[in-house]
Amino acid sequence: MESLIHTINKLQEVFAVIGDHKINLPQIVVVGSQSSGKSSVLESLVGKSFLPRGTGIVTRAPLILQIVRYNKEDRESMLEITKNDKIKEWAWFLHKPNTVFQNFDDVRLEIENRTNYLAGHNNGITHEPIVLKVYTLLYDLTFVDLPGLTKLPVGDQPEDIDERIQDLILKYVQQPNSIILAVVTANTDPSTSESLKIARKIDPEGIRTVAVVTKLDLIDKGTIQDTVELLCGYKIPVKLGIIGVVNRSQKDIFDNKSMKETLKSEKEFLKANYPEIYKKHGNQMLANTLQNILLMHIKETYPVLRKELYDTKDRLENQLKTLKTPDQKVSFVLGLLNDVCKSYCDTVAGNRKDLSESTLVGGAKISQIIHNEYVEKLDKIDPLLDLTDEKIGNILLNSAGTNKSSFVNEKALEIMVGKQLQNLIEPAMICVDLVGAEMLRIFESIDQSILDTLKRFPKLNTDVKMVLNQMIDYTLLSIKEFIRSYIETYQACLNTTNPDFILELVKSSDVIQDAFISTHVTNKKGLTNDEFTRAEEERTKQLFKQILSGLNDLDKTMESSKQVKMHKNLTRCYFEFVRKNVRDFVPKRIIFKMVNHVLNSIDHYMHKLVFTPYVVNRSIDQVLVEEEHIVDDRHRVERLLVAVNKALKNMADIQVH
């Protein structure tokens, strides 16, 4: 099953070249504080001293470390380059594919040089990985070594270095296919371990976390029992195991103590101090455990990864279709304009196959605006807003001049009704503006692939939006003018004989309602047709006599009070009569003259004002000039698609074996 690890290694190499990607590879991510012994653990597993050392941040770029148990083919490839059959272990960097490193001091120097190239010389960090492959006769393992966690900047480190490192670490450990290798020191309280804090935050159940306890040789002899409890899993809730190791000390490194001697010393130390559990710990046990964990994890995630790659391939191919350079430019522009118009109309009419489930769009949003922003607010307008009894009395008297006001003062009624109907204009104008704005916003809701294609070409995108904006602006002005004129007509020309107005008047008075009902439901029994007709006419006369005599019997000695009450009621009833008509008319006018007009003519105007001038002026080439970032996006998608295809081929190859 080592070939599975080799396949994942190839995928890591493929996607490391691409840089930022969303492919979730199964891998072991090493997390630990600065000076926690991270580097020593990795060097012990490799069996070589090759990592940079020093104070502060030493690891400043993700290091994808692939330990490969080489085969005959690997060795032959190395010999082709070096012609040196004495080399037993060597290293290779992805960024230097034709160079074989047999001296691991040179490996350390190359890591430092590459880090400085990627992250600069100012102790900053980078997200761009370094891929290092070490060929040995040991085993197959892969790690991602990340910068050590720190709290405070040291020296010339950036002030926000802690946040930068946290972001980089989270980028890797948040991937559900990552195994977290949390490095913990034995001589500190595990509850304060920064690596475990991150592991608990991302993996609270500990199902993909394994802990490595370092510096067992530095603890006080009196705390060995506490360390035993730690190593047995009583203090750290992780499911993949806890393994203690003893690595080289600074003195050992200075004295150039070999890895073989280090492993021997480690075994003797563990056997002497932890006789009951020593067989479950040590670097060799750590390597075996991690290899088994990684293999099992790859086997579990392999089908999901394969599906993810196929889904990514489909997505990239569709994206590339959107980003492709058109061959037939004229027909491409014409086809794109047709697609834009159709998608816009489908969005408004609700004919899209990919209807939104989360929010209202298109025609549904327009209907919501009309109801919520117009009808509801229109219904809340007080018919007698700012029209007090005192004002009504003054209007009645002032409109009569030197003459005594007649009981029904038509001139005063016209003034009052006109003033109140003015309150119906502003809500209608606001509604027209809101629908117009929504018609423009709907353009951003058309089919995303069509919109993305259009946005590739700034001039074409601008011209299309400009024409749509002109269409909406023109209809918006004409609709406003018509609606305003419609309401002003009611203001200028009162029709008190309109049946709907009479009905509103009847509904406003219980006395009149009773008379009205009595007039229309009188039993004809005992009356001739002529007698019934005369009786009905008499009742009607009495009805209108009541209407014109003040509508009630209150304040008989106060003629002016009766006039005020009557004109107030007449104004209210006429306002309600007009409001009902306006409530029905305005939405219909907006739908008919703005929404439907745009839908019926957008195709015509796009051809007339956008496409035809391009052809006549022979400016198609200039129109199809892409923004620079679009060209970069196309190249990025092409590279990523090549990488995904390579990855799928590698996975297909492993399926055969």
Closest CA to 106 of 98, 114, 117: 114
pLDDT at position 200 over 50: yes
* Shared-domain flag, residues 259 and 340: no
At residue 315, the pLDDT reads 84
Token pair belonging to 328: 């037939």
Full 3-state SS string of 32-91: CECCCCHHHHHHHHHCCCCCCCCCCCCCCCCEEEEEEECCHHHHHHHHHHHCCCCCCCEE
Asked whether residue 524 is domain-assigned, the answer is no
Average pLDDT along the chain: 81
* Shared-domain flag, residues 300 and 336: no
Q: Which helix (H) or strand (E) holds 323?
A: helix 283-323
> Contact 395/412 with Cβ under 8 angstroms?
yes
Please name the residues in contact with 65: beta carbons below 8 A apart, sequence gap of 6 or more.
42, 46, 132, 134, 142, 143, 144, 145
- The tally of domains found in the chain comes to 3
Q: How many residues does the chain have?
A: 657
Pick from 240, 275, 308: which residue ends a domain?
Answer: 308
CATH code at position 410: 1.20.120.1240
Asked whether residue 546 is domain-assigned, the answer is no
Phi, psi of 472 (to 5 degrees): -70, -40
Token pair belonging to 587: 């939405």
The beta strands (E) that lie in 149-205 are given as 178-185
- pLDDT tens-digit profile of 380-433? 888 888 888 778 777 777 777 766 655 567 787 788 888 888 888 888 889 899
Asked whether residue 459 is domain-assigned, the answer is yes
Average pLDDT for 520-536: 59
Token pair belonging to 37: 């012994």
* Shared-domain flag, residues 169 and 273: yes
* Shared-domain flag, residues 266 and 375: no
Q: What's the start-to-end Cα distance of the chain, in Å?
A: 10
pLDDT at position 55 over 80: no
pLDDT at position 213 over 60: yes
CA–CA distance, 109 with 74 (Å, rounded to integer): 24
Helix/strand/coil for 29: strand
* Shared-domain flag, residues 84 and 172: yes
pLDDT at position 19 over 60: no
Average pLDDT for 313-331: 80
- pLDDT tens-digit profile of 279-307? 999 999 999 999 888 888 888 888 888 88
At residue 343, the pLDDT reads 92
At residue 638, the pLDDT reads 82
pLDDT at position 536 over 60: no
* Shared-domain flag, residues 117 and 229: yes
* Shared-domain flag, residues 172 and 270: yes
CA–CA–CA angle 367, 371, 376 (5° rounding): 175
CATH code at position 258: 3.40.50.300
* Shared-domain flag, residues 429 and 463: yes
Average pLDDT for 325-353: 87
pLDDT at position 163 over 80: yes
At 135, is the pLDDT very low, low, confident or very high (cuts 50, 70, 90)? very high
150 or 539: which leads in pLDDT: 150
User: Considering Cα of 447, then 453, then 456, then 461, what sign does the dihedral take?
Assistant: negative
Q: Is the pTM of this model over 0.85?
A: no
* Shared-domain flag, residues 600 and 636: no
> Can you give the residue range of the structural domain that contains 360?
329-493+577-626
250 or 167: which leads in pLDDT: 167
Tell how many helices (H) and how many strands (E) occur in the chain.
26, 9
User: Which range has the worst mean pLDDT, 187-196, 347-356, 523-532?
Assistant: 523-532
